[in-house]
Structure formats: structure tokens, C-alpha cells
Structure 1
Amino acid sequence: MGHILVVIMMVVISSFARVEANMITNGDFANCQFLGWQTDTDGNVGSDADFSMVNQNGNCAAQIRADYDDTDVFFANTLYQSLHFTSAPDTGFLLRMELDALSASTQSDAGFIADMFFVAINDGQGHLMDGSGNAGFLLAPTEINGARSYDIAFWLSPLFAVSSNWYLDIQLLIGTDVNGLSDFSGSTLRIDNVSLTPFRQISAPSCMGILLLSGLVFARFLLSKRSD
């Protein structure tokens, strides 16, 4: 019965969103190249030490590094891509990605100053926005302290489809103290499986029918457990 419940819940969740063409170019970096993406190191393109590809058992991912001896960055490294919203569903768009953050030192090390990363929509003029089009971030600046993986999703307003010149920014920033100095201990951010798809809901009657069926099956499951 547990397997039936899992299947039904998967149907319910998937019914809220219909998978359509990905509007991100080379979001899985399958060709081990930055095709469709651009790089920026403090206003310049950046070096191979700042931006590179990592091949993990045949699965390639983009890698951003900062605050290492061989990196050119003084402030921030940004991986970005122009976004083209090809349709405007009533409920907006779903942006997903996988991130792995790693710092060479941690808060247990003397003099540690955490580097940071964030994800945002850029209007092409340097203004950063959240999923609703307001000033802010999709993922606010997040400190890197050791190793951590993120599998995250963001909802974007359908209003983004009525205008152009939008960019997806993924930025790695060097953390500094009150004097503007870093700890010169590097951090790495890996990016993979970035996707952007229209997000559409099914009709209310269909949705209610599925939820009702799920409730009936769950109730039957509880009754069977009590009779055991």
C-alpha cells in the first residue's frame, strides 16, 4: 500500500506542472563547454582558473573558483546566461539547478572569512531581482563554510515574459573583513542541471479529483493498519 501512496502523490505533484522545453541553453553542460553561458571576472572574461569544467565520471559541471592564488578575481566571479521566456503561462516559470559549494577552510580555522554565492535575475543593467521582479535575489548571498550541496527550485513570475533583456546570474564573491581583506583561502562553486520551464497548473476539478482519490486511498490504508 505504501508504494501505491507514493505513486499517487507523484501523480498529484506532477499534475501541477507540465514538463516542457527547457529554455536554458546547455544547462547540463553535457558537452563540457560553456556553450550558451558567459563568464565575468570583475568586468573581464576571466581565466581558466576562475571558470572551468569538471568531469565527474562522464558527468560535466561548470565550476567557479575564487580567492585562490591562481585566480584573477578580486571581488566576484559571475556565470550568466541571457534568458528568453518563450511563453507566458498564467502561473509563471520554474527554474531549477544543482549547486555544490566548497571552501578550503572552515569556521574552525583561525582567521576564516566565509566567501559567498548568490543566484538572481539581472535586468541587463546590474539590477538584481527575485522571482517576483522585485529588487533582491532568488537565493540570497549564502556563506560557504565547508562542503554543502543544494538542489533548489525557484518560481518566476509570468511578468518576465512581457519584456526582454533578462539574465540569470550565478555569482561567487570573495568574503572580506572590515578592512576589505580576504583570508586568501579559496572557495569553489559547481553548477549543474540548470533548467527553466513554463509552469502550468491543471484545472481545479481535475486536481480536486486526484486529491480526493488520494484521500480515499490513504483512509483505507489507515483502516487496514488498525485492523491488523
Structure 2
Amino acid sequence: MKKSTLACLLLALTSAHQAQANLISNGDFSDCSFAGWQKDTDGVGELAAGNDFQQVGAPNCAAQLTVDGPETQAFFANTLFQGVDLMADTQYLLSFDLNVNSELTSQDQGFVADYFVVGLGDGTGAYYNANGTLGSLLEADIDGVQSYNVEVMLDDMLASWDALTLEFQLLLGADATDMTDFGASFLQIDNVAINSVNMASVNEPLTFALFGLGLAGIAAGSRNRTGKRSAL
């Protein structure tokens, strides 16, 4: 499921595209802080008192969200997000790196997968994909260690949105009795960037050909996928 989900997101670009200033503030968390980002939890108490949001890996820090673990506050989800201001008539490339892990896996009795969602928001609570339609940029269950390196082009119609946000959300999974497995899950976020690109320098036939291969991979993967979650 993870590989087919990621294939849907990857748009191949040649290294010839010309990147400009990153619209995301503190996307690499280089100062080991959450400057520029907003944190949200449905838990109780002060965020600073728990382990829901942390900086890890100093001096090359990444942001880490945690749920279902010791001293975490969230009942349902923790979200890290930032507002984005896109310019009209400009093409943008969104990229980010994720690492996930869980204390328990499908090899453990009673395992209930927690999961994460990456999406664009408009202030309503709904999530959208790169085309501005309901859905997500990426979502997957967490079953042990997995890494994601994502690049996706954003539709230029998103520049017309009044309140556009990029959101990373980590959610608790629950069984039929609404119980979790009480095993912590982790979502690490790093190298988040939204850069304008010069589309004239992109090899379009190669781009579309490789993207077509990605879609073919999805078609094969979707036949084996069950239990897909809704983003919200």
C-alpha cells in the first residue's frame, strides 16, 4: 500500500528545472525549533508538557510528531501546519521527506496501525490533493520503519485560495471497540520546500512518460489494497 500510494505522488522532473526561494519557513528545522509552524492537538494540557511535538536529531534536526505513547496528549490526532502564499501564473514544486516508525508492528498481537496524512487545507478542516480536489497528498498506515521522499507539482489554481495551508497529521488507529494498541507511533518531517520552477526547462515527454509509469504502478497496487482510510 505504501509503495502504490507514494507512486501516485511522484512527478518526475529533470534536474534542469530552476528552483527559486522556498515559500516554506524553517522547512529544514535547521535551528531545531518550530519557528514558522503551528501545532495543533485534540489532547488536553499544555503542548510543551508532553511528547506530542519534538525536535530530534540535533544538530541536524527534524520535527517529530508522536501519538499513543507516554506523555502524549492527543486522543485522535496531532497536526503540524503552515500557511502558504502562492503567486498566480507560477508553477510550484512541493517536496518533503518523511520517516515513520511504530513501537509495535503487525508481527505483534493486538497491533492496531496508527496512520498519517499529508494534505493541503483551506481552513475548513478538509484535506485536498495537489490538484485542489478533496483527498490528500499522501496517507499511509504505520507498521514499523518506512521512509518517504516526495516531490509533486501543485496546480496553479491553488494560488486563488484565500487560506492555503500545508498540513502533516499523525492519527491514532483504533479497533472495533475504539481501543488503541498503546504502542507509540512517530512521524518525522524534514526538508519541506515549495519552490517555483521554470517549466520551460523541463523535458515534458520524459516527465509525462515517467508519470505514466507511476500511474501504471498504482493500478497494479490498488488491486491488492484493502481497508483504505479517508483523510478526514
- Range of TM-score over shorter length: 0.7 to 0.9
Write the deviation string for residues 144-176 of structure 1: whole angstroms up to 9, x where unpaired.
101111111122101111232101110000000
Runs of 4+ in 1 over 6 A off after TM superposition: none
RMSD between aligned alpha carbons?
2.0
1:180 alignment partner in structure 2: 178
TM-score (norm 1): 0.78
* Partner residue, 2:101: 102
Unaligned residue ranges in structure 1 (runs of 5+): 1-11, 209-228
Q: Percent identity?
A: 39
The structural deviation recorded for 1:87 is: 4.6
- Secondary structure, aligned partner of 1:137: coil
Structure 2 equivalent of residue 51 of structure 1: 53
Aligned-pair distance for 1:72? 0.5
Distance 1:64 1:121 in 2: 18
Length-normalised TM-score, structure 2: 0.77
Aligned partners of 1:51 and 1:64 also within 8 Å: yes
Q: Which amino acid aligns with 1:161?
A: A
For 1:127-138, what aligned pairs fall within 5 Å after superposition?
A: 127-138=126-137
**Shift, 1:88, TM fit:** 2.9
Name the residue aligned to 2:66. 65
Secondary structure at the aligned position of 2:74 is classed as coil
Looking at structure 1, the residues matched to 177 and 105 of structure 2 have their Cα atoms a distance apart, in angstroms, of 20
The structure-2 alpha-carbon separation of the partners of 1:82 and 1:184, relative to structure 1 and needing over 3 Å to count, comes to same
- Read off the aligned partner of 2:57 and give its amino acid letter: N
1:202 to 194, 200, 203: 200
Point out the structure with max Rg over C-alpha: 1
Partner of 2:20: 20
One-letter amino acid of the counterpart of residue 182, structure 1: T
Q: How far 1:46 sits from its partner (Å)?
A: 3.0
Unaligned ranges ≥5, structure 2: 1-12, 205-232
CA distance in 1, matches of 2:33, 2:40: 16
